[in-house]
Chains A and B, each alone.
Chain A
Amino acid sequence: MSPAESNRTRTSIRALQVIMISMTLIVLGRIFYLQVVEYDTYAALGQENSVRQEYVDPARGLIYDRNGTLIVDNEPIFSITITPSLFDREKIPLLASLMGVHKSVIKARVLQAQEYSWYRTSRLFTEIDFKRFSLIQENLWQLPGIGHQIESKRHYPTDIKASHVLGYLREANESEYQNSPELRLGDKIGKSGLELTYEDSLRGELGIRYLKVNAFGQELGNFEQEELGRIPVQGSDLISTIDVELQKFTEELMKGKRGAVVVMNPNTGAILALASSPSYDQSKLAGRLDLDYWQSINADSTTPLYNRAISSRQPPGSTFKPLMGIIGLHLGIVTPKTKVYNSGAYIRGRAYRDLADVGEYDLKKAITFSSNTYFLSLMDKIATQGKLNEWSKLVKDFGLGVPLNIDLNNATAGIIPDSTYLNNRFGVRKWGLGDVLNFGIGQGLISASPLQIAVMTSAIANGGYRVEPHLVQAIRNSEGKISRKQPAVRKIDWVKPEYLAEVKKGMRGVVTEGSGRWYANIPNLEVAGKTGTAQNPHGLDHGWFTTFAPIDNPEIVVTAFIENAGFASVSAAPVASLITEKYLTGEIKRKWIYDHVINFKPTDPDADESDTNTETTAANE
């Protein structure tokens, strides 16, 4: 080998070595950059890749009736989810065959999911049956981007609706989930009824778990650092005061009518049944929202979402008369012996008609036959003696005109006017006796909800105790600890037993000899009650009947309110009476009344009500 050649060889070797060493150093530098300089970035990426944070929804608390019957529970719904960015479109035929649908369906849904978000997971199919769900689960490994999810929806195992008691769930709106760390987008929360009132108890606490996932998105069990996660706390169960049997019967009677019924234990305020009709089917609002149904109940002119039992404000009509009697006795304006002569009308500025038979009326008889004259003259004296504000205060002690502390939202306070109210309403000195007088017969500006009438009736029945109406008697937390709710029962201090005895006699008379004698009298039971009419300027009057039994040791108060029903004695009275009979005897002996109620149609206003032009006609019931 020539020296020149060997020289060139050496140079070439050096050149090649320099090239290879420098290129290798570039590679080494690159590796150093990735592993040492950028370690934090890629460590986080790696972690993100293989660990998935998942929220675990707590099971929502259940709702039981007073006897332990389950009324609201949870039902699992199975969903298939998709993350479009990870999805392989070539898997569409496989997915279609697993789901048993046509390829075009999958294509359309994938497109929809892509439009929502390319990277976020959304639901591809919801509420699929368990068999398909399992099939997808087994094949998840060959379906990148497809996931599965078990959610739950409310389920109502009994055949009661109780929609206005239980309420429904809807997705939380933006301000709700932004103000609560426990809520996420898409979470459902109670929007009405007990679901709303007891949301915090029912909801439970959100759990978090960290899952190891592989490149195919398959879950591989819990991440090692389990302490990072949080076990969900199951929501507390509610033990309600509702009696499923009675609720069911009440709903049956109210079907096809417009109105409300409140059934209450007069000694505690526990509500045994509460129905507002028309109602809605909350099971249709559970799970996937049936938009058509939701719109239809919202648009319905009969307002099925409206809870008439607690929100409706109606003049109590003659149901108010017993309370007037108690106040009259307390104020000393009348005694049990005081007699007022009914000449067929009470004349004071104008004639107020009285349809009760002409004659002398003491308090008992005035209640029994609902004489207007007696109570108009009583109100006249209260007003002229300047005791209007005192009267208002005494009425409010019975739960009228004040907010009731019931565990449902949207309960109305009703209106029991005093001078301040009238000054605001009409202007100072712009109102007079004429505006006040018909308060005595439960008409005019005064108004109350069926619930308030039930509370008032309870106080008369139970010896003058004001109860707090409530629907939940106990809450049982996830550890099984039961906290009982003991709503206050407060004695109304000024009410004396003798006042009540007198009024009760009158209310007993309503059922035995007054307007309630046909439909409200139950053989072998000492029932008391009072009918009433809420005047309705827009159509047929609304009927009231409030009743309690047995008269001495009352166990039940029923207040029924039927809209556009005409005479309360044939509309509201039989409903309330049947519920009382059912509760106290366990059966219905008066089948003909049951048939009457089921087939009841409000009578035509023009044919029946000849005296609608006279303010107080129907109030005589």
Chain B
Amino acid sequence: MNNLRELSWSVIFTWVLLATMGLIAIYSATQGPVSQFLPEYIQNNFYKQVGWVAVSVFIMIGILIVPPRNFVQLSYVFYAFGIILMILTLLFGREVNGAKSWIGIGPFGGQSSEIMKVATILAAANYLTSRRNISAENVKYALTTVAIILIPTIIVILQNDLGTALIFLTLIPVMLFWSGLPYGVSLFIISPAVIAYLSVIEWYYGAIAAIILSFIIFLVQRRVWLTITSLITGLLTISGIQLALTQLLQPHQIARIAAFTNPSYDPTGAGWNVIQAKTAIGSGGLTGKGFLEGTQTQLKFLPEQWTDFVFCVIGEEFGFIGATIVIVAFLFLFVRLLNMAGNHKHPFAQLFIVSVTAVFFTHFFINVGSASALLPVIGLPLPFISYGGSAFIVNTVMLGICLNMDFHKREFSIYR
């Protein structure tokens, strides 16, 4: 047994801190004065979450004990199991908030896509580090990796859970980048996302971004054809977005995007969530309105305030100070995890930790970005804070595996 002092206690402390902040926010959002406007099953979310957190403590301890090589050995099994579960969900699952993502028997069950996150990371990481000299520069390896990630992505899209699909898609550039894809090419892969985001706001923002990004790619890679391809891809993205906005998308989807760029366009329709979320955060001020005192929260002006908009509850009731504590805690977690990866000698551990960090970060950025109207509203939970059993457990599992590999660093490094 290793010396317990080698365990990254600061990460564990951050995990406890985030879970506690989450429980406080969920309590306020479901058990506060607002409870009179909520159905009983939602009021009970707080107690359920307490249960999940308690279970997660044991899961965390259990994972820390398991020898790390098991995760490598069982990664494909997990992956296969996950895919089967996802397909079953697609066929027999229950619809929650418009997404057919919940599977279970009786009261036991969860979102299979959550389990799939960790399974996909394990499988892709295992594949990319299974042999020496595997590099994402090799098209065959790169495409196989993309396939490993795209299969669950497609199933998630079929389940109508676009937010989670975005998480899977993020894994592609991150994992390829880590596995040797040149910086310029990595930038090229993520450039459409940046261009798309900006061109939704104004098409010429996208155009400016496309030119700047292509220029950076040229500076990094010095390859003319890549630069030209990047520029063309950028322009195609902009035209695609314009076409989608004007021709392809359903009116309610367009309304949601229009609400993001200009909430006052339709303040009671699609813009409602955006305005109420911003108002909740903004009216919290420096110190917040106090626990259970947030009018936006307690009078139910916030939608989904125990999950997707949980950050607004913290922002409103605990103000900038509370919000900063959460943000800094996350930032600490990201930096600390990346350092953990950098200090690790085993490529599987490195890739796994980096991918998990990327997943956490994407969740964090999209959730807080949506709540503060930096991004269009994309329904994704805030890790360790939002209500949700499967998400909390799987996030704990992912964090636990990271801690496990860091904890067992020396013995794992010699494992090949």
A binds B: yes
A31 adjacent to B331 (CB under 8 Å): no
Least Cβ–Cβ distance between A20 and chain B, in angstroms: 5
Interface status of A504 (Cβ within 8 A of chain B): no
Interface residues of B in 356-396 (CB under 8 A from A): 357-358, 361, 364-365, 368-369, 372, 374
List residues of chain B with CB within 8 A of the CB of A86.
268
Q: How many residues of chain A are within 8 Å of chain B by beta carbon?
A: 42
Q: 1/0 per residue B240-283: CB within 8 Å of A?
A: 00000000000000000000000000011000000110111111
Q: In the complex, A216→B302 CA distance in Å?
A: 11
Interface status of A13 (Cβ within 8 A of chain B): yes
Interface of B is mostly: helix
A46 adjacent to B338 (CB under 8 Å): no
Least Cβ–Cβ distance between B414 and chain A, in angstroms: 13
List residues of chain A with CB within 8 A of the CB of B215.
none
B285 adjacent to A1 (CB under 8 Å): no
Interface status of B165 (Cβ within 8 A of chain A): no
Which one, B177, B285, B347, B368, contacts A36 given CB within 8 A? B285
Least Cβ–Cβ distance between B84 and chain A, in angstroms: 33
Q: In the complex, A85→B338 CA distance in Å?
A: 48
B374 adjacent to A30 (CB under 8 Å): yes
Least Cβ–Cβ distance between A477 and chain B, in angstroms: 39
Given the known interface contacts A20-B334, A141-B37, the answer about A42 and B324 at a Cβ–Cβ threshold of 8 Å is no
Q: In the complex, A30→B177 CA distance in Å?
A: 29
Interface status of A16 (Cβ within 8 A of chain B): yes
Interface residues of B in 150-204 (CB under 8 A from A): 174, 177-178, 180, 183
A38 adjacent to B300 (CB under 8 Å): no
Interface status of A231 (Cβ within 8 A of chain B): no
B372 adjacent to A49 (CB under 8 Å): no
A31 adjacent to B296 (CB under 8 Å): no
* Residue of chain B at shortest CB distance from A12: B178
* Residue of chain A at shortest CB distance from B33: A220
Interface status of A135 (Cβ within 8 A of chain B): no
List residues of chain A with CB within 8 A of the CB of B319.
35
Contact count band on B: 35 or more
Least Cβ–Cβ distance between B413 and chain A, in angstroms: 10
List residues of chain A with CB within 8 A of the CB of B207.
none
List residues of chain B with CB within 8 A of the CB of A49.
276, 279, 295-296, 299, 301
* Residue of chain B at shortest CB distance from A26: B374
Interface status of B101 (Cβ within 8 A of chain A): no
* Residue of chain A at shortest CB distance from B299: A214
Interface status of B342 (Cβ within 8 A of chain A): yes
Q: 1/0 per residue B300-317: CB within 8 Å of A?
A: 110000000000000110
Interface status of A525 (Cβ within 8 A of chain B): no
B282 adjacent to A35 (CB under 8 Å): yes
Given the known interface contacts A42-B279, A43-B283, A49-B279, the answer about A27 and B374 at a Cβ–Cβ threshold of 8 Å is yes
Q: In the complex, A86→B301 CA distance in Å?
A: 13
Q: 1/0 per residue A439-471: CB within 8 Å of B?
A: 000000000000000000000000000000000
Interface status of A203 (Cβ within 8 A of chain B): no
B285 adjacent to A43 (CB under 8 Å): yes
* Residue of chain A at shortest CB distance from B300: A215
A13 adjacent to B341 (CB under 8 Å): yes
Interface status of B335 (Cβ within 8 A of chain A): yes
Interface status of B339 (Cβ within 8 A of chain A): yes
Interface status of B284 (Cβ within 8 A of chain A): yes
Q: Which of A42, A212, A216 counts the most chain B CB atoms within 10 A? A: A42
A43 adjacent to B37 (CB under 8 Å): no
Least Cβ–Cβ distance between A179 and chain B, in angstroms: 34
Interface status of A428 (Cβ within 8 A of chain B): no
A24 adjacent to B331 (CB under 8 Å): yes
A34 adjacent to B341 (CB under 8 Å): no
Q: Top 4 closest A-B pairs, CB basis?
A: A42-B282, A46-B283, A214-B299, A50-B295
Question: B residues bordering A, Cβ < 8 Å?
Answer: 37, 174, 177-178, 180, 183, 267-268, 275-276, 278-286, 295-296, 299-301, 315-316, 319-320, 323-324, 327, 330-331, 334-335, 338-339, 341-342, 345, 347, 350, 354, 357-358, 361, 364-365, 368-369, 372, 374
**New contact pairs (16) apart from A43-B285, A86-B268, CB-CB < 8 Å:** A16-B358, A17-B335, A23-B365, A24-B327, A28-B327, A35-B281, A41-B282, A42-B283, A45-B275, A46-B279, A46-B316, A47-B283, A50-B296, A213-B299, A214-B301, A216-B37
